[in-house]
């Protein structure tokens, strides 16, 4: 079977991308709390998050940035939300599924305007008591770089830093050879922690954090798509989800 290698860089990956105003209706925010109940808000009415009964800005707030092909309704994002809800956080999941389920090369570019528009919502919520010092972003896979773009734009808009970014397995393809302006970097927040399990495959070894943890897990054996197909995608996903539970314990 021919090995399908992962490109280290993508032509045009730094080319600017825009989300037309008419497409912003597909950028949503899901608030979770009060026993796993949820309420969804669009980009246009996201300021109403502040009055949601699940939200109390006297508590810490977690913003979850989903990965490539991910959704707030899928198990990985739900697992993150459940863990932090149990720890007393306000939990807000960014639903940018519309922009994260296109061709990967395009999705990497679209995460920059997604980050800008999410930052705009965070600035709105600051008017109602959201404190950047009590705000954390957790990203997984492509969502790690989305978290970076959110934080970068937030810095530009407010002159302040978000307290913490926790990045689980930052995506490597299309980001490995880019400078800090176009990817996750230690300067994006007061504290940036990264956990790697697969830096030679879908991840990246570039230093971009205050603290890095490398866990040598089963995925190190599967460095390309052909290997994953041979084992079975569902089996890989199930085992990776189990490992992520252990990773969360390291983060928390």
The predicted-structure confidence for 176-187, as pLDDT tens digits, reads as follows: 888 899 999 999
In this predicted model, which residue has the larger pLDDT, 235 or 127? 127
pLDDT for 22: 97
In this predicted model, which residue has the larger pLDDT, 76 or 133? 133
Highest mean pLDDT, choosing among 9-18, 20-29, 169-178, 198-207: 20-29
pLDDT for 59: 98
DSSP, collapsed to helix, strand or coil, labels residue 30 as strand
* Average pLDDT of span 118-137: 99
Residue 224 has pLDDT above 50, yes or no: no
Contact 196, 205 (CB under 8 A): yes
pLDDT for 218: 43
pLDDT category at 12 given cuts 50, 70, 90 is: confident
pLDDT for 124: 98
> Which residue matches tokens 């979770």?
32
Q: How many CA atoms lie within 13 A of 30 on its CB side?
A: 22
Q: Give the rounded percent of residues in the chain with a pLDDT score beyond 90.
A: 65
List own/partner pairs for 19-27 with CB under 8 A and 24 or more apart.
19/99, 19/110, 19/113, 19/114, 19/117, 23/98, 24/117, 26/96, 26/97, 26/98, 26/99, 27/94, 27/95, 27/96, 27/98, 27/99, 27/114, 27/117, 27/118
pLDDT for 151: 98
Q: Where are the domains of the chain?
A: 21-251
What kind of architecture, by CATH, is found in domain 21-251? 3-Layer(aba) Sandwich (3.40)
Mean pLDDT of the chain: 84
In this predicted model, which residue has the larger pLDDT, 134 or 243? 134
Residue 204 has pLDDT above 50, yes or no: yes
Highest mean pLDDT, choosing among 49-63, 174-188, 210-224: 49-63
Q: How confident is the model over 139-184, as pLDDT tens digits? A: 999 999 999 999 999 999 999 999 999 999 899 889 988 889 999 9
pLDDT for 223: 42
Residue 1 has pLDDT above 50, yes or no: no
Residue 201 has pLDDT above 70, yes or no: no
The beta strand positions in the chain, using DSSP E, are 28-33, 37-42, 61-65, 90-95, 135-140, 162-168, 189-196, 211-214
């Amino acid at each position: 079977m021919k090995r399908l290698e992962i490109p280290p860089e993508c032509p045009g990956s730094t080319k600017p991308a825009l989300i037309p105003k008419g497409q912003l209706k597909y950028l949503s925010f899901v608030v979770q709390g009060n026993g796993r109940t949820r309420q969804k808000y669009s980009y246009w009415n996201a300021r109403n998050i502040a009055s949601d009964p699940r939200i109390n800005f006297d508590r810490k707030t977690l913003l979850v940035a989903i990965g490539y092909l991910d959704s707030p309704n899928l198990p990985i994002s739900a697992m993150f939300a459940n863990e932090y809800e149990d720890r007393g956080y306000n939990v807000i999941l960014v639903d940018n599924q519309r922009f994260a389920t296109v061709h990967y090369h395009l999705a990497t570019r679209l995460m920059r305007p997604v980050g800008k528009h999410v930052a705009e919502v965070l600035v709105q919520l600051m008017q109602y008591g959201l404190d950047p010092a009590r705000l954390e972003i957790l990203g997984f896979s492509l969502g790690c770089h989305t978290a970076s773009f959110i934080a970068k734009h937030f810095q530009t808009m407010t002159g302040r830093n978000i307290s913490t970014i926790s990045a689980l397995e930052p995506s490597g393809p299309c980001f490995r050879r880019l400078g800090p302006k176009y990817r996750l970097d230690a300067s994006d927040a007061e504290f940036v922690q990264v956990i790697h399990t697969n830096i030679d495959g879908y991840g990246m070894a570039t230093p971009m954090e205050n603290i890095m943890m490398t866990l040598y897990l089963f995925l190190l054996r599967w460095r390309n798509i052909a290997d994953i197909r041979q084992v079975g995608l569902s089996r890989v996903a199930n085992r990776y989800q189990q490992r992520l539970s252990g990773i969360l314990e390291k983060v928390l």
